[in-house]
């Protein structure tokens, strides 16, 4: 048993993946605390930085494992940034939260690091978006920038359908990206990376009549050994994102693998079932080794 304190912050409606991490952590750490992120209070005064949950002083923890989803990204950003002042170790910086929960900023970061990505546009008006759509080959993919689990993603086959989607998104005040469709037969590859190492991989295929391969959207998955170009691209993307614990989603193209999304709050249940690899255990093992140094 390692005499260290592990803090796990997550939405209050704890997912199965979060509970799996808690169960593995209790085998290793002397103290494990699971805290709803929205119930964390931050306090500033002239002398101290205070981070409190009920009567617990969270500044006493050695490491924080965040499970921050898109809905809680802004508060999560403040909480994780606050930990810098308290000296609490964690798998990524606060800036990574904002980047990972905005699809355009994600691809911008990948581009900056030389990671291959699909051609992608964003625009601030319907007129500008329509001008982009007139120049593109079809089909194209339109996504809301803060979508997750396959939500807010649509493939359109022609300009008329595309402009209708764009107009609707603007009425709903949703920021969007417009992305070239990389023909992959509704398949993508997910590489799960922990501490700069690919610990598991799976190929996901969309259900019939859909092109979204997410398990959340009803897609099916099989074990996939991430090697060669896929491994190189995934590791480069993880480094560009600045996260020790991350899932990288890629599609195959005639030019090789391209990164379409990164996920700093990836599900664990599905990939463990498909691969029979204890991903939760590998995450906790990585944290323990980091704290032992």
**Phi, psi for 221 (deg, rounded to 5):** -130, 150
Q: Worst-scoring range by mean pLDDT, 23-27, 72-76, 212-216?
A: 212-216
| Contacts for 182 with CB less than 8 Å, ≥ 6 apart | 118, 251, 252, 253, 258, 260
Is 60 domain-assigned? yes
One domain for residues 56 and 146: no
Kindly tell me if the per-residue pLDDT of 174 is higher than 90. Answer: no
One domain for residues 52 and 65: yes
Is 15 domain-assigned? yes
Q: What local confidence, expressed as pLDDT, does residue 77 receive?
A: 97
One domain for residues 255 and 200: yes
Is 106 domain-assigned? no
| 233 pLDDT tier (thresholds 50, 70, 90) | very high
One domain for residues 229 and 252: yes
Please, are residues 122 and 89 in contact by the beta-carbon 8 Å criterion? no
Domain count, the chain: 3
One domain for residues 227 and 191: yes
One domain for residues 33 and 92: yes
Q: What is the mean pLDDT of residues 221-245?
A: 98
Please, are residues 224 and 257 in contact by the beta-carbon 8 Å criterion? no
Last residue of a domain, one of 63, 98, 133: 98
Name the residue range of residue 196's domain.
185-288
Is 33 domain-assigned? yes
Q: What is the mean pLDDT of residues 178-186?
A: 83
Q: What angle do CA 272, 276, 280 make, to 5 degrees?
A: 40
Q: At 16, which CATH number?
A: 3.40.50.20
Q: At 172, which CATH number?
A: 3.30.1490.20
Residue scoring higher pLDDT (210 or 242): 242
Last residue of a domain, one of 129, 163, 180: 180
One domain for residues 92 and 143: no
One domain for residues 167 and 79: no
Q: What local confidence, expressed as pLDDT, does residue 10 receive?
A: 95
Q: What is the mean pLDDT of residues 74-95?
A: 95
Last residue of a domain, one of 66, 98, 130: 98
One domain for residues 202 and 261: yes
Average pLDDT, the chain: 92
Q: Which tens digit of pLDDT belongs to each residue from 99-144? A: 999 999 999 999 999 999 999 999 889 999 999 999 999 999 999 9
One domain for residues 249 and 208: yes
CA–CA separation, 53 and 246 (whole Å): 26
Is 78 domain-assigned? yes
Is 114 domain-assigned? no
Q: What local confidence, expressed as pLDDT, does residue 193 receive?
A: 99
CA neighbours closer than 13 Å in the CB half-sphere of residue 124:
0
How do 41-44 and 245-251 pair as beta strands? unpaired
The partner residues of 156 in beta bridges, in order of sequence, read 140
Is 104 domain-assigned? no
One domain for residues 192 and 258: yes
Q: At 237, which CATH number?
A: 3.30.470.20
Task: Read off the pTM.
Answer: 0.93
């Amino acid at each position: 048993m390692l005499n260290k304190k592990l803090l796990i912050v997550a939405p209050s409606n704890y997912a199965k993946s979060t509970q799996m991490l808690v169960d593995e952590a209790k085998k290793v750490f002397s103290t494990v605390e699971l805290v709803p992120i929205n119930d964390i209070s931050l306090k500033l005064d002239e002398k101290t930085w205070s981070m409190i949950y009920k009567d617990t002083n969270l500044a006493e923890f050695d490491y924080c494992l965040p499970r921050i989803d898109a809905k809680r990204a802004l508060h999560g950003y403040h909480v994780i940034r606050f930990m810098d002042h308290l000296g609490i170790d964690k798998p990524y910086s606060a800036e990574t939260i904002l980047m990972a929960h905005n699809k355009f900023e994600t691809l911008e970061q990948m581009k900056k690091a030389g990671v291959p990505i699909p051609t992608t546009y964003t625009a601030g008006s319907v007129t500008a978006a329509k001008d982009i759509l007139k120049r593109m080959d079809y089909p194209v993919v339109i996504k809301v920038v803060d979508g997750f689990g396959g939500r807010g993603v649509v493939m359109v086959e022609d300009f008329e359908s595309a402009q209708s989607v764009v107009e609707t998104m603007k009425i709903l005040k949703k920021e969007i990206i417009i992305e070239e469709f990389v023909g992959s037969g509704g398949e993508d590859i997910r590489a799960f990376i922990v501490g700069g190492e690919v610990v598991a991989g799976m190929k996901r295929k969309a259900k019939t009549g859909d092109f979204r391969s997410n398990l959340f959207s009803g897609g099916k998955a099989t074990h996939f050994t991430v090697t060669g170009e896929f491994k190189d691209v995934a590791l480069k993307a993880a480094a560009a994102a600045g996260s020790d614990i991350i899932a990288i989603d890629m599609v195959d193209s005639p030019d090789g693998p391209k990164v379409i999304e990164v996920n700093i709050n990836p599900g664990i249940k599905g990939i463990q079932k498909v691969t029979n690899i204890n991903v939760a255990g590998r995450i906790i093992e990585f944290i323990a080794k980091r704290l032992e140094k």
